[in-house]
Amino acid sequence: ALLHLRTLCPGEAHICRCGQHNTPGHDDICRDRVQIKTWRHDKVRDHLASYLKAAGVSVSTEKKLAPEDPHNLMRMDLVLSHANGVGAYAMHDITIHSASALAPYIASITKDWQQKDGMQLLRAGLSHQAAKKVDKYRHVVSLDFVPLVFSAGGALSAHTMDLFKAWRSIVPSWDHLQRLIAFALVRKRVTNFRLVN
């Protein structure tokens, strides 16, 4: 009871409203809590866009890939253009995965996964998700395409780390941007923390 009063978090039943067991980490994959994923995704996108704009890069967000086709709703989270705003040169799609959602992929794609540490397995799962994104957009995007793949805890895929190293040299206050992204990734998880009985 004191923990409930101190954290102001209501207790929860063993079964979530979606019908699944309410275990730690369930809020990252629960279909009834989609707004968590959307908020987190949009915050990361907005932070990256504002800091890239401050570096002098022209950035468009949520740009349709085929604006002339009303049935094609595919959008790209970040489209980078030259300083005059003409001629896009890179596109990025942001994806955030929870460790529990990556678990089924990790065992199937990683040999000897029992001997590897948790971070190696997480990075393998994130890299697998990045490869799936590249395959998805391979015939749709003709520009330089790098998916930005994060874990809900803040880990990055290998391609995302390489891109961030390049951006670090042009973006002012890069360390502050990284803190904002990390905070956005974990903040919604903390505000929606539910006690498991």
Specify whether the CB–CB gap between 197 and 13 falls below 8 A. yes
Residue ranges making up the domain that contains 85: 2-196
| pLDDT confidence of residue 188 | 61
Express each pLDDT in 188-197 by its tens digit: 655 555 444 4
Count of domains in the chain? 1
Q: What percent of the chain has pLDDT over 90?
A: 27
pLDDT higher at 146 or 100: 146
Q: What's the whole-model pTM score?
A: 0.76
Q: What percent of the chain has pLDDT over 70?
A: 72
Express each pLDDT in 123-136 by its tens digit: 888 888 899 999 99
Query: What is the distance between the alpha carbons of residues 151 and 84, in angstroms, rounded to a whole number?
Result: 34
Does the structure show a pLDDT above 80 at 15? no
Instruction: State the average pLDDT over residues 160-182.
Output: 92
Q: Under 8 Å CB-to-CB from 74, ≥6 apart: which residues? A: 64, 65, 66, 140
